[in-house]
Chains A and B, each alone.
Chain A
Amino acid sequence: MPQLQEVTVDELKHLVSNRAIEGETVLLNMGPQHPATHGVLRLLVELDGETVVNCVPDIGFLHTGVEKNMEAKTYQKAEVMTDRLDYLNTVGNNLAYCMAVEKLVDLDVPPRAQAIRVILTELQRLASHLVWIGTHALDLAAMSMFMYAFREREIILDILELVSGQRMMTTYFRPGGVWRDVPVEFEGAVRDFIKLFPKRIDEYEALLTKNPLLMDRLLGIGVLTKENALSYGVTGPMLRASGVDWDLRKVRPYMGYEQYDFEVPVRTEGDNYARYLVRVQEMREALKIVEQALDKLPMGPVRSDNRKFVPPPRSEIGTSMEALIHHFKLWTEGFEAPRGGIYSAVEGPRGELGVYLEGDGGPKPYRVHMRTPSFENVSVLPVLAKGHLVADLIAIIGSIDFVLGDIDR
């Protein structure tokens, strides 16, 4: 039998209060295997009765060395690693990474590819928020909500499968555009979804928004002040629920977001309920963007024709010697990116999803850092949980909406 590593009280002394050392309060281990922590997150909770005195998150159980692995792959091949970070926002991760590569090598994306990217990332945002609303409600004992949310999420995953062949790990966006054009069934499938989904959001809201059981658990719980939110680097719906109007799609439009008309929901309360309302409203706005992008979807190429970075279409390879050479060079060696580091960020469902990408003149990234929003968002958990009950801790975790793959990378 392997010996369990002993944790001495000394190692924890600076993290908990003196009362825990003296045995007045209880130190409780929550996780890493606990359904309410939404993955493998361990929380060391110091309890005075049922009140949380201190909460120390322990992360890293899902660390897979994605950044190190990406350094060993060419720019194109490293992209598949990004799907596996935040597995609820795979398309969004691809977008963040592709945009970083495009910025590093100075590559343009054709308008049709931009619109397709917008449609799919917004659908993915919906899918991600659906998982959030389902699991958050499940944590608060609303079992059926979970089933409803996953029913709709399945439709979105079917659309992703339709365009990319994969439900989750799509890698559909590529530096310079998308893998291939969307199939003819795509428009109909998205239109059906646009028609269906507003009614479904109304249903969710009828079930939850004014539900007294839910409001008891959310109203006034886990208040995040504006100052704390900024100091902890919290972004996304959490920041907007704390009264900061900051959405990268609005303030630094990318992929043609400036053409679409949508609101950025902002609340000032900063509690669980405000975060709930912001995300629900965001679902409606995301759907508006999808509809506009689909209406305006321009015709044209879906990949840049810069052959130094983007492989030629299959049809050319049979007839053009140059196309064959480009294809061969790009898939064996990859393309060379200039020396220098850039930071590029997109608005993911959880917040600012940034990529620091540094090239060294070779075909492999010298350094990739994924600035994942969940990391910052969960680091504020001790502040939110302090003084609340253990049961409220569950509600707060649900309202932060983090993904462990996103935190641990």
Chain B
Amino acid sequence: MNTKLEKVIQAARSEFACAVEEFRGEAHLIVDPERIVAVITWLRDVQDFPLLSAMTAVDYWPKMDPRFHVIYQLTSLSKNLSVQVRAPVPGARPVMSTVSGVFANANWREREIWDMFGIHFDGHPDPRRILMPQDWEGHPLRKDYPLGYEEPQFTFNFEEIDLRKPYAKE
């Protein structure tokens, strides 16, 4: 970790009392999900990180508390730095506050995380699914959601499998 990044981390630590993890030269700030809007706003305005490069989530199922990590990857153009903010979210009540008021691209990214992980973002202006159909059930990137597959059809069981195949038949 270079000294410029060290400074940002130190400031974040004294401001928000967040834990810090280091891995392969990257700094990960672990922050309380309640304070996520404050942290992200502070990073953007005070520390000059004007770009939300990536926003995603990870599911640590079957661990339930915290089950998810919501990840914000912020970039500073003036300092040429990246910092990762991670917010642990409990599986029993997966709710976060939206940062779409801070970064406009969080709007779609939060819709994506809602769609894929079922993490609800409080105060989101447009809380619809984005990639899956609107009437889809379940959240595909959760670890307890099975990976889909197709049964291979052979001559001897062609009819049998065809009957339970989920495509529209006339």
Contacts and interface: CB of A to CB of B under 8 A. Distances in A.
B103 A246 contact: no
Given A341-B58, A354-B53, A246 B105 contact: no
Contacts of A151: none
B52 A343 contact: no
Interface residues of A, number: 46
Nearest to A15: B126
A251 B147 contact: no
B131 A231 contact: no
A269 B104 CA distance: 21
B54 interface: yes
Nearest to B170: A1
Interface in B35-58: 50-54, 56, 58
Given A340-B24, A379-B107, A63 B54 contact: no
B161 to A, nearest CB: 22
B53 A233 contact: yes
Given A67-B141, A343-B26, A366-B58, A230 B51 contact: yes
Given A231-B103, A343-B54, A354-B53, A60 B131 contact: yes
Contacts of B51: 230, 233, 235
Interface stretch (A286-294, A297-305, A313-321, A368-376): A368-376
Contacts of A369: 54, 56
B58 A69 contact: no
A105 to B, nearest CB: 10
B56 to A, nearest CB: 4
Query: Which of A5, A15, A67, A369 is most buried by chain B, counting CB atoms within 10 A of its CB?
Result: A369
A69 B82 CA distance: 28
Contact of B131 (A14, A59, A228, A376): A59
Contact of A104 (B24, B112, B132): B24
A65 B84 CA distance: 25
Given A60-B130, A63-B132, A231-B104, A352 B24 contact: no
A67 B104 CA distance: 24
Given A14-B126, A60-B132, A343 B73 contact: yes
Interface in B100-134: 103-105, 107-108, 112, 116, 125-126, 129-133
B105 A232 contact: yes
A106 interface: yes
Interface string B127-150: 001111101000011000101100
A85 interface: no
Interface in B47-74: 50-54, 56, 58-59, 71, 73
A358 interface: yes
B23 interface: yes
B54 to A, nearest CB: 4
B22 to A, nearest CB: 10
A72 B105 CA distance: 29
Contact of B26 (A15, A230, A342): A342
A371 B24 contact: no
| Residue of A228, A230, A345, A352 with highest tally of chain B CB at under 10 A | A230
A230 B76 CA distance: 11
B77 interface: yes
A153 to B, nearest CB: 29
A367 B23 contact: no
A14 B125 contact: yes
B68 to A, nearest CB: 11
B80 interface: yes
A68 interface: yes
Contact of B53 (A67, A68, A340, A345): A345
19 contacts: A2-B168, A5-B135, A63-B131, A63-B132, A230-B50, A230-B51, A233-B52, A233-B103, A233-B104, A343-B26, A343-B73, A354-B54, A356-B71, A367-B59, A371-B53, A375-B108, A375-B112, A379-B105, A379-B108
The 8 closest A-B pairs by CB, nearest first: A233-B105, A60-B131, A371-B54, A369-B56, A340-B23, A231-B104, A63-B131, A230-B50
